[in-house]
Amino acid sequence: MKQIPSINKSGPQPQKLAALRQAHRDWNESPDVLTRLTRRLSTTLSLETQLAILAEEIASVVPYDCLTYRHTIASREFVYVTGKGGPHSCDYRLNLEGSFYGTLSFSRRQKFTEQELEGIELMLAAAICPVRNACQFIAIEQASLTDCLTGVPNKRALDDALSRASCLGDRHGEEYSLILCDLDHFKQVNDQYGHVVGDHMLKLAAAELEKAVRNSDSVYRFGGEEFAILLAHTDEVNAREVGDRIREFISTIVVDCGDTNVTVTASCGVAMRLADETADQWLARADEALYRAKAHGRNCTRVFAAISN
Ligand SMILES: Nc1nc2c(ncn2[C@@H]2O[C@H](COP(=O)(O)OP(=O)(O)OP(=O)(O)O)[C@@H](O)[C@H]2O)c(=O)[nH]1
């Protein structure tokens, strides 16, 4: 067990305690601008909220017309803009301990003075640690929602999306359909050609699924060799067409294994969300439709029809 050195105990420190009480009073009642800025930033891990706080606090010291923040976090572009630009600008690259946390630009009609630039820099120096924490929080959150093999959102992300779709469906009557797409006889691919080929096949399948659907639709890796596709504004007739298209895309995958070209087919189960249905009930119906597609001989699409089956 690690021994923690004991803290040097001294006698009572009434003066230090009084100074601490005074510091707390000052910190609480009349904080200076840097104290107020860092205190406000420390209350949130939302990068958007932090940038709003930073924009407001800097504007209280150095007026500007437009603030723009840009950063790529976990392969996604994050952009935050307040106001409209002017001809004079200053740009800052936010770096801390060798890592980059985005670019901040300020612009306005008048030139910035040297003192104003120094003021902005002092405030950015105070903000950089909280901004770093918020960027890292986004990256960790993204990682927890992403399947590490294929790079598409994972089951956890699907659960969130189904709950959101269920709320929107009930509130605004929007139509959503869900497709479960399962590769056929995938165990044979692993058994005959090995897991490396199987993994490669899964990556190609995810990429084909993303190509096969619209930008407003989302592809998730639901489990081993099973994917889910959530289709917004789509009824079951159109969802069936998407299911068939998906299968066509999957059937174009060819993995060259020397003496053999390995191909794969997929089965799809489709369910359109019914009014007042929970996410679990909806998912269970799509799963039932997938089961029927498998039972029908695979390489086909089955719909759990809302009215007649
Ligand atoms: N390579 C690889 N294989 C996986 C992964 N996850 C699950 N699998 C494999 O996927 C296969 C799924 O097998 P089954 O559930 O029997 O399904 P199937 O062989 O596709 O048969 P049907 O679904 O009935 O057509 C198993 O061999 C799993 O080991 C993965 O991440 N990588």
Q: What is the pLDDT of residues 146-205, one digit of tens each?
A: 999 999 999 999 999 999 999 988 888 889 999 999 999 999 999 999 999 999 999 999
- H or E, element range at 203: helix 195-212
pLDDT value of position 307: 58
Instruction: Tell me the C-alpha distance between 120 and 127, whole Å.
Output: 10
Helix, strand, coil % in the chain, rounded to nearest 5:
45, 25, 30
Report the atom number in ligand 1 closest to the C-alpha of 298: 25
Top-level class of domain 155-303: alpha beta
From 116, 208, 225, 277, the catalytic residue: 225
Residues with CB under 6 A from ligand 1: 149, 182-187, 190, 195, 198-199, 202, 224-225, 294, 298
**Residue 307 Cα to ligand 1 middle (Å):** 33
Q: Are strands 88-96 and 255-257 parallel, antiparallel or unpaired?
A: unpaired
Q: Where does residue 259 rank: exposed (0-12), middle (13-18), buried (19+ CB within 10 A)?
A: exposed
Atom 7, ligand 1: residue with shortest CA distance = 224
Q: Name the residue of 187, 188, 197 whose CB sits within 8 Å of the most ligand 1 atoms, as the mutation to test its pocket.
A: 187
Atom 14, ligand 1: residue with shortest CA distance = 187
Of the candidates 38, 44, 70, 43, the residue with the CA atom closest to the CA atom of residue 57: 38
57-60: list long-range contacts, CB under 8 Å, 24+ apart. Answer: 57/33, 57/123, 58/106, 58/120, 58/123, 60/33
**Residue 226 Cα to ligand 1 middle (Å):** 8
Instruction: Tell me the C-alpha distance between 176 and 243, whole Å.
Output: 14
Distance of CA 286 to the CA centre of its chain: 25
Backbone CA torsion sign across 226, 231, 235, 238: negative
**Residue 87 Cα to ligand 1 middle (Å):** 59
Phi, psi (5° rounding) for residue 85? -70, 170
Per-residue pLDDT tens digits of the chain, which is 309 residues long: 667 667 677 777 899 999 999 988 988 888 899 999 999 999 999 999 999 999 999 999 999 999 999 999 988 999 999 999 889 999 999 999 999 999 999 999 999 999 999 999 999 999 999 999 999 999 999 999 999 999 999 999 999 999 999 998 888 888 999 999 999 999 999 999 999 999 999 999 999 999 999 999 999 999 999 999 999 999 999 999 999 999 999 999 999 998 899 999 999 999 999 998 999 999 999 999 999 999 999 999 999 987 544
Q: Where does residue 198 rank: exposed (0-12), middle (13-18), buried (19+ CB within 10 A)?
A: buried
Tell me if residue 225 is catalytic.
Answer: yes
pLDDT value of position 269: 98
**Residue 224 Cα to ligand 1 middle (Å):** 6
Q: Name the residue of 148, 181, 188, 190 whose CB sits within 8 Å of the most ligand 1 atoms, as the mutation to test its pocket.
A: 190
**Cβ atoms of residues 110 and 88 within 8 Å:** yes
**Residue 110 Cα to ligand 1 middle (Å):** 64
Atom 28, ligand 1: residue with shortest CA distance = 187
**Cβ atoms of residues 237 and 270 within 8 Å:** no
ipTM beyond 0.90?
A: yes
DSSP 149: T
CATH number for the 21-144 domain, one of 3.30.450.20, 3.30.43.10, 1.10.340.30, 3.30.450.40?
A: 3.30.450.40
Report the atom number in ligand 1 closest to the C-alpha of 188: 19
Task: Indicate the domain borders of the chain.
Answer: 21-144, 155-303
